[in-house]
Amino acid sequence: MKAITFISAILCLTLAVFGQGLQTPVSKNGALRVDKGEIVNKIGQPPQLRGISFSWSIWEGRKYYNPRVVDWLSKDFKVNIIRLAMAVQPDNGYLQQPDLQRKLITDQADEAIKNGIYVLIDWHDHNSNLHTQQAKLFFAEMARRYKGVPNVIYEIWNEPERVSWDTVKNYAVKVITEIRKYDKDNLIIVGSPHWDQDVDIAAANPITGFKNIAYSFHFYASDPNHQDGLRAKADKAIKMGLPLMITEWGVGESDGDGKFDLDKNSAWLKWVDQHKLSWTNWNLTDKKETTAVLLHGASTAGNWTSDNLTPAGNYIRNEIRKLNN
C-alpha cells in the first residue's frame, strides 16, 4: 500500500513539474467533476476534451500501445485525452493475461500523465456483468495507483449489449463502491444498454449515492441507424440531467467499416459542440477498416505523416487540431 501511495505522489509531482511554464490540458482544467448534470473542470465549465481511443489491446491495435505513440498523439494530433481500450474477454485479453494487459494500460496511462493529458482507463468488455469480481480487483488496483491524479478517468464497462439497465446498474454500483474505497473523487464513466445508446433509460433511474459519476454515449456517424433518433435519445437524457461523455465514436458505421459520410459526420460534430461534450474517436489501429486512423504498416513509434493516415485519420487529426487549438 505504501509503495502504491508513493507512486501516486511521484505521478502528481511529475505532472506539476512538467506543467511549469507550459499550460497542459490538465493544468488548465484540473480534476474533472460532475455538477448539475454536466462534466465540468475546476472553474465549473465543460472542458470539451477531444482525442483518440486506442483500439482493443490485442489484435492489430496492440502494437500501438507504447509511450512514443502517446507522446506523438499529444504533440502532433494535439489530443487532450486518450482512451485505453483494455481487452477483457477475447483470447490474450485481461482474463487470460492480466499482468501483460495491466502493464499495457499503466505504461500508457503514466505517459499520458507525463504529457499533461487525460486518460480513460476502459474495461473494454461487452459482458462485464459476467466478470464483476475481476473488474473490481482491476479497478481497485487502478484506484490505489492513481488516486489524487486528476488525469485519470475510469470507464468501467464498454458497451453493454442486450442486457437490462438494472443489470448494468447493479454491476456499476459494485465496481464504483470498490473504486471509492481508494479514490474518492476521480470521474467514473458508466455504460448503458444497447452499446451505450440507451442513455435515456439510464437517465430515468440513474445511480445515486456517489459523486462524480457520468455516463458514456456512443455513435457511429455514418450509420443510417445512428442519426436523428439516436440524437433524440441523448437529448432526452441531457434534458433529464444525465452527464454524458462520448467515450467512443467513429466516422463510419457501427461495425467499424462501411461508408464515411462527411455530411453525417459534420452533423454529429455540430451536435456534440452544441452540447459541449467531450469525446474520443475510434480507433488507433492499422486494420483495414473505415474507422481506422492508420494505414497498414504505419510506424509503431508515431512520427506519422498524412501519407500514413487513412481518410478517417486525416479527418480526425485535422478536427482535433482545429478544435483543441
Q: Judge whether 2 and 142 are in contact, CB under 8 Å.
A: no
Of residues 36 and 7, the one with the higher pLDDT is: 36
CA dist., res. 150 & res. 109, Å (int):
12
Which residue's C-alpha cell is 505504501? 2
Residue 21 has pLDDT above 80, yes or no: no
What does the mean pLDDT of the chain come to? 95
Convert the pLDDT of each residue in 50-75 to its tens digit.
999 999 999 999 999 999 999 999 99
User: CA distances (Å), 67 to each of 106, 135, 291, in order?
Assistant: 10, 25, 22
Residue 48 has pLDDT above 70, yes or no: yes
From the CA atom positions of the chain, what is the Rg in Å? 18
Burial class of residue 39, CB neighbours in 10 A (0-12, 13-18, 19+): buried
Across the range 251-264, mean pLDDT stands at: 98
Residue 4 has pLDDT above 90, yes or no: no
Across the range 224-238, mean pLDDT stands at: 98
**What pLDDT does residue 87 have?**
98
- Active-site choice (111, 159, 178, 289): 159
**What pLDDT does residue 325 have?**
81
**What pLDDT does residue 313 have?**
98
Convert the pLDDT of each residue in 261-314 to its tens digit.
999 999 999 999 999 999 999 999 999 999 999 999 999 999 999 999 999 999
Tell which phi-psi region holds residue 130, choosing left (phi > 0), alpha (psi between -120 and 50) or beta.
alpha
User: CA distances (Å), 150 to each of 22, 41, 169, in order?
Assistant: 17, 10, 25
* pLDDT above 70 as % of the chain: 94
Convert the pLDDT of each residue in 183-214 to its tens digit.
999 999 999 999 999 999 999 999 999 999 99
CA dist., res. 214 & res. 292, Å (int):
27
CA dist., res. 18 & res. 24, Å (int):
9
Amino acid at 131: H
- Grouping H, G, I as helix, E, B as strand and the rest as coil, residue 248 is strand
C-alpha grid cell for residue 88?
A: 477483457
**What pLDDT does residue 297 have?**
97
Of residues 22 and 210, the one with the higher pLDDT is: 210
Convert the pLDDT of each residue in 130-152 to its tens digit.
999 999 999 999 999 999 999 99
Residue 16 has pLDDT above 60, yes or no: no
C-alpha grid cell for residue 186?
A: 476521480
Please tell me the pTM assigned to this model. 0.94
* pLDDT above 90 as % of the chain: 93
pLDDT tier for residue 8 given thresholds of 50, 70 and 90: low
CA dist., res. 49 & res. 117, Å (int):
9
CA dist., res. 228 & res. 242, Å (int):
19
pLDDT tier for residue 22 given thresholds of 50, 70 and 90: confident
| Catalytic (active site) residue 141 | no
- Grouping H, G, I as helix, E, B as strand and the rest as coil, residue 134 is helix
Distant-in-sequence, close-in-space partners of 27: CB < 8 Å, separation ≥ 6: 15, 19, 116
Sketch out the chain's domains with CATH numbers: 2-324 (3.20.20.80)
C-alpha grid cell for residue 315?
A: 479527418
Q: Judge whether 246 and 272 are in contact, CB under 8 Å.
A: yes
CA nearest to 87, candidates 120, 125, 46: 125
- Active-site choice (60, 155, 178, 248): 248
**What pLDDT does residue 3 have?**
53
**What pLDDT does residue 150 have?**
98
- Grouping H, G, I as helix, E, B as strand and the rest as coil, residue 280 is strand
CB atoms closer than 10 angstroms to residue 181: 12
CB atoms closer than 10 angstroms to residue 232: 11
**What pLDDT does residue 27 have?**
98
pLDDT tier for residue 12 given thresholds of 50, 70 and 90: low
| Alpha helices in the chain, H assignment, sequence order | 2-19, 25-29, 67-72, 98-114, 132-146, 165-180, 193-196, 199-204, 228-239, 262-274, 311-324
**What pLDDT does residue 11 have?**
55
| Catalytic (active site) residue 159 | yes
**What pLDDT does residue 1 have?**
52
